[in-house]
Structure 1
Amino acid sequence: MAPSYFKTSEIVPELACHKLQDEEDLNVVCTLPVISATALYALHTKANIQPGESVLIHFGTGGVGIVAIQLAQYACAEVYTTVPTDEKKEWLVKKLGVKGENIFSSRDTSFIDGLLQATNSREKKIMEFPLEVFNVADITDALRRFSSRNPMGGFGRSMSKWMMSRGARKFIFLGRSGLDKAPARRLIEDLESNGTRCTVVRGDVCSMADIQKVVDSAETSIGGVIQAAMGLNESLFTSMSNEYWHTGIDPKVQDTWNIHNAIKGKDSELDFFLMSSSISSDGVELLRSELLP
């Protein structure tokens, strides 16, 4: 989809182009290929969805959710989905033809019982990501927004909501900005309004003392760890400074080691220790220091 890096112009085959209508918003339209590719990959490449199968699509009125519903319907699959409000449920019924009895609330875990009563099929998970627009001159800040040393960034927010929908009820977050940013405050408000208990610790993931504060704040044994910290500095690898290198490597290596040591004694019920990283569509990326195999 993007064989080269960012450019001011690109020559592509005619079949890869589609003329925009005057009323179409470029900021929205430019995200559609990513949304469509996500839904296609999830339902066809990974799930190999077949006629008559059932699929659960969370957040059905989000960008990915809407496309996933349409693809599932095109494959003659039975669609089950969740929405946060009655208005959005009505929209799905009228606009996409989803059966009303197949739409459940995403505000709590009540959809689980409803789904189990409706089907014994195995559900598939679709995540929703919000749209934010940045000036091209601010691309470094944009990348940092979604890949910072903050578990309440884009990836962290999505993971937290997904875990809540699966029954998680206790969360502890560590981030340098704490609750200073509006998205972080909205995340905590949303989680707590759905019956979860959240603790936010302000600190640096590379600081053993701050990691220890997080562990000490856990009232019971720790059930799982998601290490999603990332530092970002753009530079050619051949001329990358030592400082830039450590900006990317330290949150991955030092923080993981700190967590490993800090949770000893509270890890008797640890189910998972998940570490995230980045990939490049070209397979090799010479610009970024945070990519690990």
Structure 2
Amino acid sequence: MKAFILDSYGKTQTLRLDEMPEPLAGPDDILVEVEAAGINLLDSKIRNGEFKPILPYKPPLVLGHDLAGTVIKVGARVRRFKPGDAVYGRLRDGQIGAFAERVAVKESDLAPKPANLSMVEAASIPLVGLTAWQALVDRAKLKPGQKILIHAGSGGVGTFAIQLAKHLGAAVATTASATNAALVKALGADIVIDYHKQAFENELSGYDVVLNSLDAKTLEKSLKVLKPGGKLISISGPPDPAFARAQGLNGVLRLVLRLLSAGIRRKAKHADVDYSFLFMRASGEQLGQITKLIEDGTIRPVVDRTFPFEQLNDAFAYIETGRAKGKVVVTLK
């Protein structure tokens, strides 16, 4: 089968299209024919080597976390799916490889594809949808009437999180460029801060939750908009000790992450704010809950561009410009 292979870590590395052996499906696995794969900055960061300490993949390897496709074969213990089923999912850490014609996926990582979505639209959902779900539902426990600031509202996570937050009954503010203001308002944002002209930390106050996906300066400024007891959730770091424990990292790495996050944790404590780092996990069960919201029209996918599979490296270059509105997807069929 054809697959894009990362031969070594590095920011200038391109992925090589070549033949690979067919994947072997274990008793709990499903062999999926990939029809579309979502592109995520996580893939870029792994390629660059930024996650080597906590996700120790050894090149050569096949990247890719998001997929939609058709079940070809199921393992002996698989009960929820059969050949011919249309599925989508976020592959778990340690078993990635969606940038290939076929991949073996754990049954528990998949959900039936939403009936009202194309394969391209479905492939755009899993990672950003699960990230937003785990941040807003699991971590923030967002309630009706609360106020949330979602940074980078026109990005992949942002476009999904705005819609989910509105469904949960929250008032939503977001940061975006003037060019993208109409998009995020259409998704449900109540307040749009033009980050080119406005300082969000001077415009907003009394917020219950901030979802950060930007840099360290934005993270620190976000403390100013939160009320005492508020929650600052970051998906862009720095990782905290709770994350290190959950990942089962060794003592040296735990110490490193403790030191990296010491500054923001100290400032958050001083502001009476709860800081936490979220590194989303694969979950077919949660994706099933998201599917219901998609099928009833509560949440819609936002796809910026599609690329043919052969142009995967061009798709990487495009998402790294930071200009994508929503998600970028490569198509294999």
TM-score interval w.r.t. the shorter chain?
Answer: 0.3 to 0.5
Higher relative contact order (CA 8 A, sep 6+): 2
Structure with more helix by fraction: 1
TM-score for both structures, normalised by structure 1: 0.40
Structure with more strand by fraction: 2
TM-score for both structures, normalised by structure 2: 0.35
CA radius of gyration, larger in? 1
